[in-house]
Chain A
Amino acid sequence: MSTHIKTSTLQLSASGLEVVRKDAVKAYPDECCGFLFGTETEGRKITLAVPVTNHKDGDKRRRFEIHPQDYLRAERLAAEIGLDLLGVYHSHPEHPALPSLTDLEMALPYFSYVIVSVKSGKVVDERSWKLNESLGLFEEEFIMQPIHLS
């Protein structure tokens, strides 16, 4: 289902990481979700994280779903601000930051999937995953130390 081979790297801005962590804590015990924007000119750099509502009908503690209108807005925002839509984040309350079979089934190529593990309301881990389409599994991306942007 997943592998621990880290074949690529991901830089997350400190401000973006803070947004992701705060959203994960705020949504707890439900799962949070949001979009990741950035650039790929010198490796993949996430400079902006934007939370969106978890629209999953039913148990939000173990599932998330992003509304199609929110996806449309994210694509439009990326075009407006000159960044690329590079991925999605979500949280796993009381669960490791490992992709589930559901995550794998819904995974799209190209996107980085940052997963935040939250235990007892506190963030304990965050890891990033990218679909290897040909192998049909996730490969982990090495998250570099947060970058501070002026």
Chain B
Amino acid sequence: MATIIIPTPLRKFTGNQSTFKVNDAGTISEAIHSLTDQYTDLKKHVIDEEGKIRSFVRLYLGDEDVSALDQKAETRIKESDVISIVPAIAGGKI
């Protein structure tokens, strides 16, 4: 089973679970949707209205930025893969 790592600030939406095991996930996108289908309160923080990964969220497959992969979120994953959800951290005085 592939593993999705939930970022700390979003764990309140997964019952404080830090990881999520994905059964039968073919692609990264399918794995993420499997997660948000189970934890629906998490969905708005990860998926936009069009069903795509939100612009404020990055996905990493191991140490690789998923947006830099040829197939991006449609990349197929293996059982040993670890997907991390990385929220954008930014701000400033103005």
Contacts and interface: CB of A to CB of B under 8 A. Distances in A.
Nearest to A103: B91
B93 A95 contact: yes
B91 A100 contact: yes
Instruction: Report the contact-size class of chain A (Cβ under 8 Å from the partner).
Output: 20 to 34
Contact of B94 (A56, A78, A100, A107): A100
Contacts of A21: none
A127 to B, nearest CB: 13
Contact of B7 (A69, A75, A99, A106): A75
Interface in B1-28: 5, 7-12
A66 B90 contact: yes
Contact of B92 (A84, A86, A103): A103
Among B9, B10, B60: residue with most chain A CB under 10 A: B9
A111 interface: yes
B60 A72 contact: yes
B39 interface: no
A45 interface: no
A111 B7 CA distance: 11
Given A62-B92, A106-B89, A68 B8 contact: no
Among B58, B63, B84, B94: residue with most chain A CB under 10 A: B94
Contacts of A106: 56, 88-91
A28 interface: no
Contacts, number: 83
B86 A68 contact: yes
A106 B93 CA distance: 12
The 8 A-B residue pairs with the shortest CB-CB distance in the complex, in nearest-first order: A63-B92, A108-B9, A103-B91, A66-B89, A92-B93, A95-B93, A110-B9, A65-B90
28 contacts: A31-B93, A62-B93, A63-B93, A65-B89, A68-B58, A71-B87, A72-B60, A72-B63, A72-B84, A72-B86, A75-B84, A78-B8, A84-B8, A90-B92, A92-B93, A93-B93, A100-B91, A100-B93, A102-B91, A103-B92, A106-B88, A106-B89, A108-B10, A109-B12, A110-B8, A110-B10, A110-B12, A111-B9
Interface of A: 31, 33, 56, 62-66, 68-69, 71-72, 75, 78, 84-86, 88, 90, 92-93, 95, 99-100, 102-103, 106-111, 113
